[in-house]
Amino acid sequence: MDDTGIRGEAEPTGLCIFVSQYRHALDPKKRFTIPSQWRSAAGTNLLYILPDISMKFLCAFPSTEIRHRLQKLRQHPMADSRAREFARVIGSRSDLVAWDPHGRIRIKDELLDLAGIREEVWLVGALDRFEIWSVERYKQAQASDQASFEEAARYVGF
């Protein structure tokens, strides 16, 4: 666990912010604990778990953020085959989970396998969502993230 700064908080506007990172072991039932600050930030005990488009890790969205993303998807007509394909793939490979009284969630095996998660997870704050990585894949991604961070910051105008 990293003790540097704020980990997650709910903004007055209802905007969720997830920051920092945590490494957790899966228990024998393949559950892991969501940090309490992130549970508070989510505003509800429900999370939508989706594979990232790279299919290398998972993304956890609170319901407020997933509604925002679905509104964007609904702007495409039903006749748009690319939008339908995206909705079908994401919808069929996603999961809706609720944490228990101890803050633990259990993601279905299909998604854990897709992300290469076996014994440990690395939870990574990504502002409006958080990412769920296998330890090995996250270490690999960190190396390339450092190399492209400056360019990415310019791209988003940060």
pLDDT tens, 63-83? 889 888 889 889 999 899 999
Q: Quote the domain boundaries for residue 120.
A: 8-156
CATH number at residue 146: 3.40.1550.20
- How many residues are recorded in the chain? 158
Residue 142 lies inside a defined structural domain of this protein: yes
- pLDDT above 60 (res 5): no
Other Cβ atoms within 10 Å of 75 Cβ, number = 8
**Is this structure's pTM higher than 0.85?**
no
Residue 62 lies inside a defined structural domain of this protein: yes
First CA to last CA distance, the chain: 27
DSSP, collapsed to helix, strand or coil, labels residue 155 as helix
- For Cα atoms 69, 139, 58, give the angle at the middle one, nearest 5 degrees: 25
Residue 130 lies inside a defined structural domain of this protein: yes
Among 96, 112, 102, 115, residue whose Cα is nearest residue 47:
96
Residue 14 lies inside a defined structural domain of this protein: yes
Residue 103 lies inside a defined structural domain of this protein: yes
DSSP, collapsed to helix, strand or coil, labels residue 137 as helix
Residue 1 lies inside a defined structural domain of this protein: no
Q: Is the dihedral of CA 25, 61, 158, 15 positive or negative?
A: negative
- CA dihedral (84, 88, 90, 92) in degrees, to 10, reads 170
Residue 15 lies inside a defined structural domain of this protein: yes
Average pLDDT for 81-94 = 92
Number of domains in the chain: 1
Residue 2 lies inside a defined structural domain of this protein: no
> 148 falls in which pLDDT band (50, 70, 90)?
confident
